[in-house]
Structure 1
Amino acid sequence: MKNWLKPVGAVLIAGVLVAGGSLISGGLDSAQSVYADNEVQRNVINVTGSGEILIKPDIAYISVGVETQADTAKEAQSQNAAKMAKVNALLKDTWKLDAKDMKTGQFSVQPNYTYSEKEGQKVKGYSAYHTLSITYRDLEKVGQLLDELTKAGANRIDNVRFSTENLDQYQEQVIQKAMANADMKAAAIAKAAKRQVGVVLSVTQGGGNDYAPYMNMSFAVAEKASMDQATSIEPGEITVKTTLSVMYEMK
């Protein structure tokens, strides 16, 4: 969290001078802090300004996986590993993805259970599950990539998230918008109170986020993609936003 503070010593000193009589009779420290705080609170405006911009995404984060079921854990793991090897080969050899843009998201081998009143809970086969988190930058080919992945053996496309790789470059724009919004609110409040807005005393920046659309594909949709139906993916736009909590002097 970022803070910019303007010293308010002048306001505090003024409070001390006005309260001079109380300082002597009630004690220096207590009278100064109480009166100064009250004085500051009566002469400030606190507002929250918000700013946001819409931008085109330049990167996609894709979660893709292979899930296999077999009678034994060893069979499930072995078959799943063979399928995953084909997926990795496609990404590295055909699509030329760098190793840094591929990482394991989840890996598990676990039993499947059935239940009946007669036999109770029993193990019925095993499931192996392995996912990859992929970073991909050619957004026009995301749909084609998903189609090729399903043909290579991927039967889980958990989500596709679009974002921007360099979010910081947009921060100045949203901060300026948020500050302008805060100025407008403070001016309206001061006008309603028949006062004027003074200098900024402090600014605190809230969190900035990019809200990226998701595209979810179930296993059934992935199967359709493997049947020569091209998958069309539209990245759309994403929102970059921030908030500023601003304290103004009120004259």
Structure 2
Amino acid sequence: MTRSLFVACLLVGAAMAPAAAAAQQGAPTSPSVSTEGRASAKVAPDVAWITVTAEARAQRTADAQRQNAAAIDAVKSSLRQAGVADEAMKTLSYSVEPQMQYTDGKSKVIGYIARHSISVRVDDLARIGALIDVAGGSGATSISDIRYDVKARADIERRLLTEAVQDGMRRANAMASGAGKEVLTIWRIEESRFSTVPQPMYKVAMARAEAATEISPNEIEIQVQVALTVLLK
């Protein structure tokens, strides 16, 4: 092979490299536009989870663990008596750690802290406040992270996916029309989703002799987003 022919081959190969790379990466080979489609729905929650924690402190690890086990068992027993099924109470975390005291820049262990957190599923949202009071009155040291959801989330998301793709196609058709083109076909669709979960509203109702915790959940907004690329003609 002569030197001039060798150089020519190199130049042709360099020119073809980007096209080959694009083909390997699955890039569209005809004019295309990329856009997004969105859809959302506000729904009332019909299930909730509460995080309930029991904590115990003692000078010895074994004592802290034993006291903590008794405390969380008492909480679960009270919730069970209030109608919460065993399968609705699941352990989230368990830990035993030293309790430190800091004096003049020095630290020493003065005891141990045992914590056990459980997730409590509540199917009747009207009972959330009452169950919080039950847990608090039976030895829980912390009640937090009330999380809401809907049992039919999967069905709602499937409906929203259809609406999001339709929204994306309307955008793609508008973009193609503005460029004097028409949509030939969909080349790629990718899904992403997220939902905005409301923070519960706490207030104390004084209608009874003892104050009761009242929880007022807001609606959940489920949002779905898709990214799509269409080929033009």
Same fold (TM > 0.5)? yes
Report which of the two has the higher share of strand: 2
Check the 8 A contact 1:160/1:216 in 2, yes or no.
no
Shift of 1:194: 2.2
2:194 to 198, 201, 209: 209
Residue aligning to 2:67: 79
Residue aligning to 1:236: 218
Local SS of the residue matching 2:167: helix
Aligned partner letter, 1:187: N
Shift of 1:181: 1.6
Shift of 1:42: 4.7
Structure 1 residue runs of 4 or more that deviate by more than 6 Å after TM superposition: none
Residue aligning to 2:147: 161
1:175 to 161, 164, 183: 161
Local SS of the residue matching 1:107: strand
Aligned partner letter, 1:207: S
1:114 to 98, 101, 117: 101
Check the 8 A contact 1:65/1:157 in 2, yes or no.
yes
Shift of 1:161: 0.3
Shift of 1:157: 0.7
Local SS of the residue matching 2:84: coil
Check the 8 A contact 1:157/1:216 in 2, yes or no.
no
CA RMSD in angstroms comes to 2.8
Shift of 1:249: 2.6
Equivalent pairs, count: 211
Residue aligning to 1:100: 87
Cα displacement string for residues 36-67 of structure 1 (whole angstroms, at most 9, x for unaligned residues): 96x95552222121222111111101110111
Residue aligning to 2:131: 145
Residue aligning to 1:49: 37
Report which of the two has the higher share of helix: 1
Check the 8 A contact 2:39/2:223 in 1, yes or no.
yes
1:91 to 76, 79, 86: 79
Instruction: Provide the C-alpha distance between the structure 1 equivalents of 2:37 and 2:29, rounded to a whole number of angstroms.
Output: 20
Residues 1:216 and 1:68: Cα distance change in structure 2 (over 3 Å): farther
Cα displacement string for residues 205-235 of structure 1 (whole angstroms, at most 9, x for unaligned residues): x233333224499xxx9xxxxx932112122
Shift of 1:110: 1.9
Query: Please, which runs of 5 or more residues in structure 2 have no aligned partner?
Result: 1-11, 204-208
Local SS of the residue matching 1:208: strand
Instruction: Provide the C-alpha distance between the structure 2 equivalents of 1:133 and 1:213, rounded to a whole number of angstroms.
Output: 18
TM-score with structure 2 setting the length = 0.79
Check the 8 A contact 2:45/2:150 in 1, yes or no.
yes
Shift of 1:106: 1.5
In the TM superposition, 1:9-48 aligns within 5 A as 40-48=28-36
Instruction: Provide the C-alpha distance between the structure 2 equivalents of 1:59 and 1:117, rounded to a whole number of angstroms.
Output: 50
